[in-house]
Structure formats: structure tokens, C-alpha cells
Amino acid sequence: MRTHVRGLLTRPTLLTLIFAAASVQAALPAQVADTPVPSLAPMVKKVSPSVVNIGVRGTVKRSPNPLLDDPSLRRFFDLPPGGGDQQERQPQFRSAGSGVVVDGKAGLIITNSHVIENATDITVTTQDNHNFKAEVVGSDSGSDVAVLKLKNPTPLPAITLGDSSNIEVGDFVVAIGNPFGLQHTVTSGIVSGLGRSLGNPDGYEDFIQTDASINPGNSGGALVNLKGELVGINSAILSQTGGSIGIGFAIPVNMVKGVMEQILKFGEVKRGLLGVNIYTLTPDLAQAVGAPPDLQGALIAQVQPGSAADKAGIKINDIVTTVNGKPVHSNAELRNAIGLLRVGDKVEIGLVRDGKPRKVTALIGESAETETAAADIHQGLEGAALVDAPDAGGVTVRDVEPGSPAAQAPLRPNDLIVRANRSPVTSLKDLRAAAQGANSLVLTVRRGNNTILVPMPAR
């Protein structure tokens, strides 16, 4: 279970959070007039066999410590000779989460990407305590969705997929999963909010917020409506304690469907690319560009030459208001809508230009190489988020994960990579070409007003 503690959550006291959670916790009344409220038990009995426990064993990936490769230091610390102790570098772990059967005959199960991250062995346990080995069909960290397949499928009851576009704030929902190892726990609540984002710049987030209790172990489990239809996959909570305070998040099932279809077809998600830089249109921005103050959408700040947007005739200062007829209220909504389309799809974009509504059709292009893990370019870049910066003439380090090989190099956010070894770098494609086959990699980096050399650890 992903637990988020940043932002507004860090400001109130824990007592305030407990009171707030208690005030929003949904509870069904005992009766309406003289009629008892129907029990949820029949629906739960129908749905529960489709929710499974996922046990994971794996290895924590750590970058090699170059000091352990020094023979004299190994003798000094009484370590065995060789290239380092792999068990020290890569400790084993065990964890557990939940999953949902979506195709009983084929043995297909949906869960969270973070549940099976670094897994070497996956065991699926059903409600009646039957165990099955499973393998990963594909995993998408951007949406936090993964698809598993039982190695020896036995027909299992599959859940009915609902339509998350029909849910509204105030609808009752039920969360089913395995929190803290407690098998098939059921909690109820309401939909507290829609279209939530936790601020992950690399994620595709459109969460359903719910006050149905979600705790560690619920990740990958089912959020269902009162008909027993799957409307979301439980994914994250906001908490200062690690337990539920009534603020949980689920991935809408419509997003899950799109990701699953691509994983089953391609083994991965091939994200669409429009080729624009965008901002959420705020009242201040609307005033600055001469748009109505109540207009909502995404403001086009830059159009990449030759991109899908450029070919469709989209221009700077255009305000995108719809994608395929569905309203767009923010830059995050536009990014999600485009990023979850397939490469080659045609998309109708509604926009406002000079106060007049227009419609254009774009042919979605393939995602930029920024979607590729930096570690795939060179292991010393692991932990860095890199992005093409054509205007600056290089590759920008957008973010660096603390403690990662890239941080130890050290690379810093906003560094601009302009050379790799002796080769100029103007794009991620150039960086990949320069790093290919190179054991050592020395980057020329512009940092503020200075130009420095950053040696990356050898492979």
C-alpha cells in the first residue's frame, strides 16, 4: 500500500485527523422509517471469491558498492574474495497485497504495480485457501496497474467490471482485500471525491477518493458498488500512522481496463503523446490570455515541432476543453486522457482560440523516450528522471531519487546534460547512443552558471 504523508496532511495534528476521519466515516442507518436496511452480505458473498491474496517474495535491487570490489578493503573487513557479496547487496523481502480476478478461465488477475515490484516469486491464495503460482504479464508503474496470470489456470469466479464514469460523490462503495494479513476483510464507505491526484509527476492519476477503510495489504483489492461491480482498484492512502484515517484512493476501473488491454496486447503500455507543454487554466491565466474567467481547461504553453499537436494545427495559447467529447478541466486530466490512448489512435480535441470554440483531430504519436527508465540507458543513471530539453540543447534532470546511484554520482534536479563521454547530447536518443556499450560514462553537465564533469559508476 502506498502511503502519502506530504502536503496538507503534514500540517494538522493527528488528533484533528482522527476527528476528521470520524466525521466523514460513512455508516448506514439501522432502518428507514419502519423498514430495516438490507444487508450487504449477499453482494459480498458473490464478490468475495473474486478477490485474492497475493504473496510476494523478491529481491531489493541495490546498486553495487564499488568499495566492495576493492580486494584490500575486502581483506580489511574480513569479507570473502571476489566481486562483492550479492546477498549483502540484494536483501530478500516478503510482502503481501490483494488482487482481483478479471478472467476466471484464463486466470488473469489485476493488482497494483507496486505490489509485485521486484518480485521473483508470486503466490495467489483464493478465499477457499487454494494456492496458485502466478507470473507477471505486464506492469505499468505510471498507472500503478499490473496484470498477473496463473501458471496453471483453474477456473475462478471473475468479478463484473463496472463503469467508473457513472459513479458520483456520495455513492456507497465497499472495499474488499487483505489488510494486515486479515483475509477477505470488507469495509464500507462512500465516494468522497473524484479526479484526485497525489502529485506524482510521472504518474497517470485520476483517483477515486473514498472513506471506506483501506490499509496496508488492501493494495490491488476491489472497490465495488452496491451491485457488486468493480469500480476501482485500491491503491493508496493518506496517513501519518500507516493506517486508515478515512482518506483512501482507488484507480478507476475504466483506466484499469485501458491499461489491461494494452498490457495483454503489447506486454506493456505504449503511451500516446500529443507533443505539448500545458498548464491548468486558472482565473489569473485566463485573464492574462484574454479568456473568460470561468473557462476551464488546459492552456497550451508549447507545441513541439513535428508532433501530433503541431500536425493537428494546435497552437500556443490554445485552451483545450475536451478530448473525444469529454470535458478537460486541468493539465492532469489532459495528460491522463492522452497518455492512456493507444499510439495511432485518432482523437478529437475541442479547444478555444481567440475566444472561439474549435475542433481538431490529432493522430496520437508514440511517447517520448522520457517514459524509458534512466537505468535502461546506464545503471549509473538509475533514480534519475530525465526529459528532452530541445530549447536548452540537452537533456534535463527533472528529479533524482534520494540515495539512488544518480544521486550518489551526484546528479541534481535541473542539471542539463550536454555531453556524454566525447559525444554531444541534444536528446535522450543521443544519450542512449553514447552510453551504449560504454563501461564508464562521464557526463558534461551545466549546473547554474557552471559546467562540470560527473563520472557515472562503471557497469
Catalytic site residues? 114, 144, 219
Cα-trace Rg, the chain: 24
The single-letter code of the amino acid at 418 is V
Instruction: Identify the residue whose cell numbers are 479568456.
Output: 291
d(CA 173, CA 40): 11
Q: What is the DSSP letter of 260?
A: H
Q: What is the DSSP letter of 440?
A: S
Of residues 439, 444, 454, the one with CA closest to residue 406: 454
User: How much of the chain is helix, strand and coil, in % rounded to 5?
Assistant: 25, 35, 40
**Spatial CB neighbours of 105, under 8 Å, sequence gap ≥ 6:** 153, 155
Phi, psi of 390 (to 5 degrees): -60, -35
d(CA 6, CA 254): 28
Contact between residue 121 and residue 13 where contact means Cβ atoms under 8 Å apart: no
- Tell me the residue ranges of DSSP E strands in 276-355: 276-280, 298-303, 319-323, 326-327, 346-353
DSSP H or E stretch at residue 101: strand 92-103
Helix (H), strand (E), coil (C) string for 213-250: CCCCCCCCCEEECCCCEEEEEEEEEECCCCCCCCCEEE
**Spatial CB neighbours of 356, under 8 Å, sequence gap ≥ 6:** none
Instruction: Identify the residue whose cell numbers are 521486484.
Output: 118
Buried b (16+ CB within 10 A) or exposed e, 13-47: eeeebeeebeeebbeeeeeeeeeeeeebeebbeeb
d(CA 410, CA 404): 9
- Tell me the residue ranges of DSSP E strands in 170-312: 172-177, 185-196, 207-210, 222-224, 229-238, 248-252, 272-273, 276-280, 298-303
Count other C-beta atoms under 10 Å from residue 263's C-beta: 21
